[in-house]
Structures are given as C-alpha cells and as structure tokens.
Amino acid sequence: MEIKEFIEKFAGQFLDTELSEFTKDTVFHELDEYTSLIALMIISMIDEEYGVTVEPEDMSAAVTIEDLFNTVKRLKEE
C-alpha cells in the first residue's frame, strides 16, 4: 500500500477539487467540497479497495490524508 495511490483514490471521491490540491499533508476536513456524503464515499472506497472498515470516529480523528492512510495501514495489519 503506497500513499501516492491512496491519495489518488481519495481524490477520486471529489468531483470539483483538482488532484493537485491533494497531498499527504492536506487537511481534508477543510476542503470546500468535503461533506458527510464525501466522508461516506471515502469510507466505502477504503472498504472496497483495502478491505478494512474505517469508522466515522477514525475519519473525525484523522486531520490529514496521511493520518487516514496510517489508520488504514494499521487496520490492515490487525
């Protein structure tokens, strides 16, 4: 699992935000397009692509995309 690929899949959940806006340090909660629906789409994408279930609390606790990536990585190792 690589962060570059994760960022691309994460960015794919957004319709109007350019890929260039997404880096490992992006504070995704602050993106204009980020909504609870987008959060659910991200949770679904993670389940489908990585086979782990991210809880809404995990989404809230993650500040950056890298934080969420590390959560997914940890869940995969459990």
pLDDT, tens only, 9-63? 999 999 999 999 999 999 999 999 999 999 999 999 999 999 999 999 999 999 9
Which residue is associated with the tokens 């319709």? 15
- Measured between its terminal Cα atoms, the distance across the chain in Å is 15
The CATH code of domain 3-77 reads: 1.10.1200.10
- Nearest-CA neighbor of 26 among 68, 67, 64, 60? 64
Q: 3 and 78 in contact (C-beta within 8 Å)?
A: no
Position 8 confidence tier, pLDDT thresholds 50, 70, 90:
very high
Contacts of 41 (CB under 8 A, 6+ apart): 13
Residue 28: the pLDDT is 97
The pLDDT assigned to 17 comes to 95
Q: Residue 1: what pLDDT?
A: 83
